[in-house]
Amino acid sequence: MLKSKSYRQAQERQRVAEALRLSAEREAEQARTWARNCLDSERRMRDRCAELLAFAMFHGATLDDLAAFNRKLSDEAGS
């Protein structure tokens, strides 16, 4: 009787450990996917900002103009 109870408890511990391991693996994969998506999004935004900067400078904006515009936006966002 004691052996079978101990065996069932060991099986249950093993089942719980396996469930926890699978859950951790799923969470890790979700975190990796999230990170990849964030990096892709940042890369697209960086490329778009570079395009906008080139466009503005092509149309006569100077770095000082752009810096002043950036300060204005930052000030408005902080208000």
Both tokens assigned to 53: 């900067």
Where b means 16+ CB within 10 Å and e means fewer, 47-79 reads eeeeeeeeeeeeeeeeeeeeeeeeeeeeeeeee
> What is this structure's pTM?
0.60
Tens-place pLDDT, residues 28-61: 999 999 999 999 999 999 999 999 999 999 999 9
Looking at residue 1, its pLDDT comes to 67
Beta carbons within 10 angstroms of residue 5's beta carbon: 9
